[in-house]
Amino acid sequence: MVPSTTVHPCLLVSEILVNIFAEVNERDEEDAARTLAALCRTCRAFREPAMKVLWAHLGTLVPLIRCIPCVKTIKSKGKSQDDLPALALEREMTSTDWEIFLSHSRLVLTCGYYVSRRDKHPVLNSPSHDIGTDILRALSSPPPSSTVFPHLRKIRWTDSRKDSIRFFRLILTPALEFLDMSSITDSVYSVIIPSINDACPSLRIMHLPKWPFLHLPNMFDKWPNLAYVTSGPLADATIQSLGRLAHLASMDICLHKLHDIKSLVENPGFSTLRRLVLRAYNINLVTAFMRQVKSVHLREVKCYLPHGTTATGIQEWITILLDRCMPRKLEILEIEDYADAGAEFPDQFTLTSDTLRLLSRFRGLTTLDLATACTYSLDDTTLTQLAICWPNMQSIALGTHWGWRQQSDITLKGLLSLVRHCSQLESIGLVMNAVSTDITSQRPGGGVRRPKVTSLNVGDSRVGDPLAVAAFLSDIFPRLLSVDAFNHLGGRRRSIPAAKEHEEKWKEVERLLPAFSKVRAQEHPPVGPRRKAFFLEELYLT
């Protein structure tokens, strides 16, 4: 019997083939390009679907440009590893060259454009090249009535050469949804930004440079679908236009100055905001900005302050935040300052229990990170009260980045209470006083176990008997393998009494943990189906 050579009808449907080839591309990362290229040459039915998958997502423009017959590769003469081979034109581009280039560029959906960056191409898995300015100038003059990238949805642009501006404007199409220009220089950025206004009405995600000051009053009104924005300092009028967007869900901006505070407060916006990241010189700018935000959808708030903050500033910030969002829906709250933290603590740099109790209203918190230069006035009782209000907490860090630089009133019992009430904890950063281990010797954790915790940050905590502390920690955290102590920013040693001695003791605790971890694993062997059935049988007989 002669085997049939008829193709199955399903393989004649282009959409089905595209899904199959996309799966091949995902599973076979190393040889995906070769496999897809082979499929293109297998038969006519496979050619177009395989080409769509092969050229859909490019890490660079290099493989696309290398398809042009008149492009040559010039090897680098430099000895540095950063010197890459360059692409240049041997002659002027003809209609045939353009036809080949456009036949491939029409298939590109996402592309990142890199210059002088050694990277691995995600499709062709080959080193990148430097693209010559003669190629950019040639590609800037396509044939009449032709669109270079008609279906482009996503582009990352990092080329700050002036010769690339004209070609970049050709990439800006009405279908573009994602635009990343965060790495270009100010001189090119100021020329390009006006071109985007009318060219890309479908933009949803935009990353702008974080250093130049932008003063375009109605800039964001051109993109009604914008949902994600990263930007540098904005003028007050530009901030107001950003706040009027109906679909804005995430915003990451720098705050330089807010001149017209009264106007901003009288016109609150950002009603759809879910994620807010603010980078400001001080906490006062952050608090002033928060007064114009009113969103019941806010889930994540992060603040980065290069010039530090005070306890009063943090208290006011938390109070404003409680008023401008729905507290029980906030999930992530982080603040980090980079000011140098000294050893002395006036009252304005101490976070009191009253200030910290304000955080108890955020009952939906999963992540809390207060990496400020302030110290804490916190004991076991207050920590227990806070822990009861955070049943969903997964990651907590209170001042371990800089350390407290004074004796903590939180003991190992306080840590145990935190772990008992926050059953989902996976990451802990807490300064404690572990000098005296007033705990039971048999089962220190009292049956409380958190196996997901594998590392613990204790900042500049004091410690007494390393063996007793290691036994206590391993009973609560049976898979704990590392303890991070006295590892502060810049390696600055904080002036607490006997700092070196406590640091060595914490290292001894860390050395003891692997042995305790093996013992805990023997105490609690994994319960499989057979072992579980045996337990049930024994229970029934009893």
Sorting pLDDT into bands at 50, 70 and 90, what band is 493? very low
Q: What is the mean pLDDT of residues 298-323?
A: 90
Name the one residue in this structure whose structure tokens are 């904080």. Answer: 494
Contact, 376 vs 400, CB < 8 A? Answer: no
Helical spans, DSSP H, in 180-244: 186-199, 236-243
Q: What is the mean pLDDT of residues 142-169?
A: 87
Within 8 A by CB and 6+ apart from 313, the residues are: 282, 283, 284, 287
User: What is the model's pLDDT at position 442?
Assistant: 65
**Percentage of residues of the chain with pLDDT beyond 70:** 82
pLDDT at 119 over 50: no
User: What is the model's pLDDT at position 295?
Assistant: 87
Give the single-character DSSP code of 2.
P
Least reliable range by pLDDT among 32-36, 81-85, 320-324: 81-85
Within 8 A by CB and 6+ apart from 16, the residues are: 10
Distance CA 246, CA 253 (A): 18
Q: What is the mean pLDDT of residues 375-394?
A: 92
Cα angle 68-71-74, degrees, rounded to a multiple of 5: 150
Q: What does the mean pLDDT of the chain come to?
A: 81
Q: What is the mean pLDDT of residues 265-278?
A: 84
CATH number of 344-542: 3.80.10
pLDDT at 306 over 50: yes
Q: What is the mean pLDDT of residues 74-93?
A: 77
Within 8 A by CB and 6+ apart from 475, the residues are: 443, 444, 445, 449, 520
Closest CA to 108 of 180, 39, 58: 58
Where exactly are the structural domains of the chain?
Answer: 10-55, 59-75+83-209, 229-238+256-339, 344-542
pLDDT at 539 over 60: no
The 3 state secondary structure assigned to 88-130 is EECCCCCHHHHHHHHHHHCCCCEEEECCCCCCECCCCCCECCE
pLDDT at 256 over 80: no
User: What is the model's pLDDT at position 418?
Assistant: 92
User: What is the model's pLDDT at position 440?
Assistant: 60
First to last CA, the chain: 69
Q: Determine how β-strand 300-305 pairs with β-strand 433-434.
A: unpaired
Structure tokens at 497: 């009494």
Where is pLDDT greater, at 343 or 34? 34
Single pTM value for the model: 0.82
Distance CA 388, CA 411 (A): 17
Cα angle 172-60-203, degrees, rounded to a multiple of 5: 30
Name the one residue in this structure whose structure tokens are 């083939």. Answer: 17
pLDDT digits (tens, 9 = 90+) for 323-355: 989 999 999 999 988 776 555 555 678 888 899
